[in-house]
Structure 1
């Protein structure tokens, strides 16, 4: 989701994304890392909880009990490691997902009691290509006392409770059937819950509800909102003020083997394909109006900024631009590891892995909102949904679909929510991890729009608000005078977008350090094999996501980057990374939002 720190902070975000410290006896740091809250329904604040995680990385890797067995699966190896390393019996492990990436294999599990998984007690184990364990994260709990596994509340009543509280509808035809999972609460108790999805398309909400199967109360929620030839804005450009180009055959057939105009079964001549359908309308299931090509798949619509965005030519330009940007990000991130196995968005997964039928549905000029944009990320196998709104600061209004950094910010929410935690969409829900999610989205937009080895300050959202200052509090910069945000800044921040600025600026510093050390590749968007700094940065960006634990913190996200470098580059960039993180207070001993500039002694 987008946030407008200068102009709109109190409008949309006050309704959807409020996170605050209250009287519960947790420190600011622990609450940021374990809690979050949302305003739901008719203005009720609902807290949600995720048990504190432990996280370890192991550099070159350590052996596990099945290391010498050539026939051992990664799933069996993960369980054997957890039993040896943490004393966790295989009887208490529920296998959720696994996949093999470019430099590591990943296994994601939930704690299990009475044969039922605990929704928010999860663990992940990562192995390098030498079959050694390189990362382990866990939020398993003491589950010696749990309620009966036999519900005393009828599932129909649970659905009614969720629909009433969340002002939405559980769609039996499109949503997964309600299931039973335990849920660990922050008072140490465990509740048996029905888990079901509730959505309100008009309001732009989509939740996973946990309703007590004995109490009948809404226990918790997962918020899925984070927040041929084409006339479009080239991906390295930010706004239409940079000028449209005619882009001929920009699809990458290694990432999209049927091209962009095949929906997984049939060829199309509209802004609909295997990776995304871009349309105008408030519903992603009915009333879609896509843009159609002229003969030869030519999508060449001219946008006129002097007239209303609702003019047909402007609507077509918006649909085409979103279609182009989302497909381009699909193709780039595919090359760097966001593939079918890694829970990406495609109708047809070509038998490679993961769940299909989940291309992105992208609604432009959506009438349900103004002055915002957001992305909804349900689990793998369900469509990600992007909502692009009009911005009313100027006259005529401006269209967020025509500012590439807004579109790429939203699409990156889908990437990070799917790749963290094994495709559940549940693992960036705490205040701190939600902030990291916002930071990654800004950092991806920044990466896409750096055009040479001179690392420029980056300003997000200039066009939509008609301001050179954009929509963040500071430009992203290596200069502490231009952007003074540090790790310690998080102690005074309670809103995920503000926290995200701290992380995004750290990643800007990391990017600059890598490009300064290793140079810049002008072909990084199409060729991930180079050794230049911008190539290395995006590899580490994508590699770190599945390595980290569910609901990561600043320190563990940093550790995942260091481990990703060990996996892919043998630690060649370790000291460069440590210096960059430490320069903004995230050094070796950083903890509790207290700055530390220490780097490892061998650096």
Structure 2
């Protein structure tokens, strides 16, 4: 079933009404407008409200979905805005034409769709097709080791020939790595696409000793405020398991994605554990500090974004929505010191009404291992796979990998020759996964692997997951790798530094927590944020939130222990522009958006405008932004919000910041699969010149 590429249409006229009609319901106005644009009656009337009309900044907003024959039409939506007179002033939609006869019937059922999705995503896993319930067009199946029970929804899918066919959206959410997938399966049982709704953040690690920030007692909001009317706490509380309406924070060092032992009861509402930064984060009272800090930050972010427009009807994260619209029962499940990894964090965002999950990890020190060659010692980092080294380590003669290609020593293919038995094999980083290199060395008889970095950056902890790899591995810098290769045939030792260097805890780094929460904001308010360009914007926008919150042009300095933070450059005077954002690595390609956000913060503050107004402008712009956006779509969404809410006096500040980095008038990104081409512009409108 070749599906149609449903591109979004944006209907706006600079804040002016799209047409004169203003009587009748909001849904009726949207239907009438769609019909006036040449869409037939069947298409126009298939649009239904997803929730109630809500107002922000004096503008009414309505979210809609398309249904045909009682089935939701996959990946279609409409976002409408109405002025104070009730007239339609903005519509972002990708409504599909409805063919005569409705969708073509499916030849497979929900259980078949679940099998197909599980087989495609997890080849070594079998699907448990025991049905456990149903609601409307959605069937739930046995949990079977997943974080949440898999569901399968029957949907109508627009096809490339202008028709529609019945298909299935299969939702699976893994326990160990927090991967939340929505997989589209055709009515014939073929997997069409899988959309990952978890934002995985990897960071280049340049850490040093932890910064010591004095702790201080800060009062919660009490009750009666708009964002958290019943305060932050709800139910019984413990030092390592804190529950509330906006977040549930708990310790999860045991890799089971469930709260560890809750610690001691806290009956007075005061979480007063004191950090000891001279000890490891997982010792003493430090785990209590992690949970209370993570709970505090999640609530601060919730309340701040609520004031900016990310409220109940916009899809925010709350257990009780207090009758304000949207779906409740979805506070953030915030897992402190998660045992599933290191040097990372992630945030999985299901649809409104189901808990998102934030996983916060510990971060390794910059140097955890050594390579000893004679009297010389070389800094190294370890790996998440293979044998764990101790202070004695492993000794062997050095050998350089030869994979038979004649040009590389990356160990990505079977190693040639029989000279590796019992040796420490040096291989270059790049071209394949670390576990592939290690497995090839292991099969050749090597006792351990030393990976030489392939650029000028510092070594970092090598990731990967392959339980069949049993040899240890370390990484050294590119320069040290060259030195060690020249020592081929000499005896060397790879070992752990003892005592183990102090790790850092991302739970006390507000940059990291703001960044992760930002993924939930964009997925809920904009829609799909996957793909090379939208994924990059998701990373950049998440950085922008931390930049605004802390008024600092760098992100994650504490966690990585480096003044530059986790990005390649500081955001002040950022040296790259829009046209450079085509590397395919979403963190790198989102940096220009972070730079635009920093420029906006500086411009607003220079104009005497509080940063809360900027945050409101950015969040409000998401109401006008299509799913899977480009940089220019994000810009136009902000401008549309300013047009419709009377804030257009700030429009030139927005134009200037975007144009500064190549997203001016006429700038355009084209996305074809994984390839992105960008035509940039530094031109601003004549009115802003």
- The TM-score with structure 2 as length reference comes to 0.69
Report which of the two structures shows the higher radius of gyration computed on alpha carbons. 2
Matched, 1:512 2:602: yes
Matched, 1:224 2:197: yes
Shift of 1:225: 0.3
Change (3 A) 1:572 1:252: farther
The DSSP-based 3-state class of the residue aligned with 1:62 is: coil
Change (3 A) 1:555 1:49: farther
Aligned to 2:378: none
Matched, 1:271 2:223: no
Structure 2: tracts of 5 or more residues without a match: 128-139, 201-209, 367-500, 670-677
Aligned to 1:83: 35
Shift of 1:253: 3.8
- The TM-score with structure 1 as length reference comes to 0.78
CA distance in 2, matches of 1:289, 1:49: 50
Aligned to 1:587: 664
Match for 2:26 among 71, 74, 77? 74
**What CA deviation, in whole Å up to 9, does each residue of 1:37-86 have, x standing for no partner?**
xxxxxxxxxx999532232432232143531x2xx222222222222235
Q: Is the 1:485–1:505 contact (alpha carbons within 8 Å) kept by the matching residues of 2?
A: no
Match for 1:200 among 159, 166, 174? 174
Shift of 1:283: 7.2
Shift of 1:140: 3.6
**What CA deviation, in whole Å up to 9, does each residue of 1:499-550 have, x standing for no partner?**
2111111111112111111x2xxxxxxxxxxxx2312201101111122112
**What CA deviation, in whole Å up to 9, does each residue of 1:322-360 have, x standing for no partner?**
000000111111122111111111111112211111111
Shift of 1:92: 3.9
The DSSP-based 3-state class of the residue aligned with 1:179 is: strand
Matched, 1:129 2:72: no
Aligned to 2:270: 298
- After the TM superposition, which of the residue ranges 156-165 and 85-94 deviates more from structure 2? 85-94
The DSSP-based 3-state class of the residue aligned with 2:117 is: helix
Q: Is the 2:221–2:228 contact (alpha carbons within 8 Å) kept by the matching residues of 1?
A: no
Aligned to 1:600: 685
Matched, 1:486 2:460: no
Shift of 1:118: 2.5
Shift of 1:176: 7.4
Change (3 A) 1:485 1:292: farther
Q: Is the 2:363–2:506 contact (alpha carbons within 8 Å) kept by the matching residues of 1?
A: yes
Shift of 1:98: 4.8
Q: Is the 2:506–2:512 contact (alpha carbons within 8 Å) kept by the matching residues of 1?
A: yes
Q: Is the 1:279–1:291 contact (alpha carbons within 8 Å) kept by the matching residues of 2?
A: no
CA distance in 2, matches of 1:390, 1:88: 56
Q: Is the 1:272–1:290 contact (alpha carbons within 8 Å) kept by the matching residues of 2?
A: no
Matched, 1:574 2:651: yes
Structure 1: tracts of 5 or more residues without a match: 1-46, 228-238, 422-426, 451-455, 520-531
- After the TM superposition, which of the residue ranges 288-297 and 589-598 deviates more from structure 2? 288-297
CA distance in 1, matches of 2:656, 2:364: 42
Aligned to 1:539: 616
Matched, 1:102 2:179: no
Change (3 A) 1:416 1:240: farther
Aligned to 2:561: 466
Change (3 A) 1:48 1:325: farther
Q: Is the 1:136–1:549 contact (alpha carbons within 8 Å) kept by the matching residues of 2?
A: no
Q: Is the 1:120–1:184 contact (alpha carbons within 8 Å) kept by the matching residues of 2?
A: no
Q: Is the 2:12–2:18 contact (alpha carbons within 8 Å) kept by the matching residues of 1?
A: no
The DSSP-based 3-state class of the residue aligned with 1:387 is: strand
CA distance in 1, matches of 2:8, 2:521: 22
Shift of 1:249: 2.9
Match for 1:362 among 311, 334, 339? 334
Q: Is the 1:147–1:192 contact (alpha carbons within 8 Å) kept by the matching residues of 2?
A: no
After superposition, residues 119-268 of structure 1 pair within 5 angstroms as 119-141=74-96, 144=99, 149-167=104-122, 172=142, 175=149, 177-184=151-158, 192-214=166-188, 216-227=189-200, 241-250=212-221, 253-254=224-225, 255-262=227-234, 266=235, 268=237
**What CA deviation, in whole Å up to 9, does each residue of 1:358-397 have, x standing for no partner?**
1110111111122110101000000011001111234222
CA distance in 2, matches of 1:341, 1:159: 31
Q: Is the 2:39–2:97 contact (alpha carbons within 8 Å) kept by the matching residues of 1?
A: no
Match for 1:315 among 287, 307, 311? 287
Aligned to 2:361: 389
1 or 2 for the larger relative contact order (CA 8 Å, sep ≥6)? 1
Aligned to 2:639: 562
Q: Is the 1:437–1:500 contact (alpha carbons within 8 Å) kept by the matching residues of 2?
A: yes
Matched, 1:349 2:321: yes
Change (3 A) 1:376 1:86: farther
Aligned to 2:544: 443
Aligned to 1:330: 302
Change (3 A) 1:146 1:484: farther
The DSSP-based 3-state class of the residue aligned with 2:198 is: coil
Q: Is the 1:284–1:363 contact (alpha carbons within 8 Å) kept by the matching residues of 2?
A: no
The DSSP-based 3-state class of the residue aligned with 2:80 is: strand
The DSSP-based 3-state class of the residue aligned with 1:60 is: coil
**What CA deviation, in whole Å up to 9, does each residue of 1:9-59 have, x standing for no partner?**
xxxxxxxxxxxxxxxxxxxxxxxxxxxxxxxxxxxxxx9995322324322
Aligned to 1:402: 508
Shift of 1:115: 4.4
**What CA deviation, in whole Å up to 9, does each residue of 1:296-327 have, x standing for no partner?**
22111122222222214111111111000000
Q: Is the 1:485–1:502 contact (alpha carbons within 8 Å) kept by the matching residues of 2?
A: yes
CA distance in 2, matches of 1:337, 1:76: 25
Change (3 A) 1:539 1:398: same
The DSSP-based 3-state class of the residue aligned with 1:221 is: strand
Match for 1:93 among 28, 33, 47? 47
Shift of 1:598: 1.8
Aligned to 1:37: none
CA distance in 2, matches of 1:146, 1:441: 44
CA distance in 2, matches of 1:135, 1:553: 19
Change (3 A) 1:446 1:488: same
Aligned to 2:451: none
Shift of 1:97: 4.0
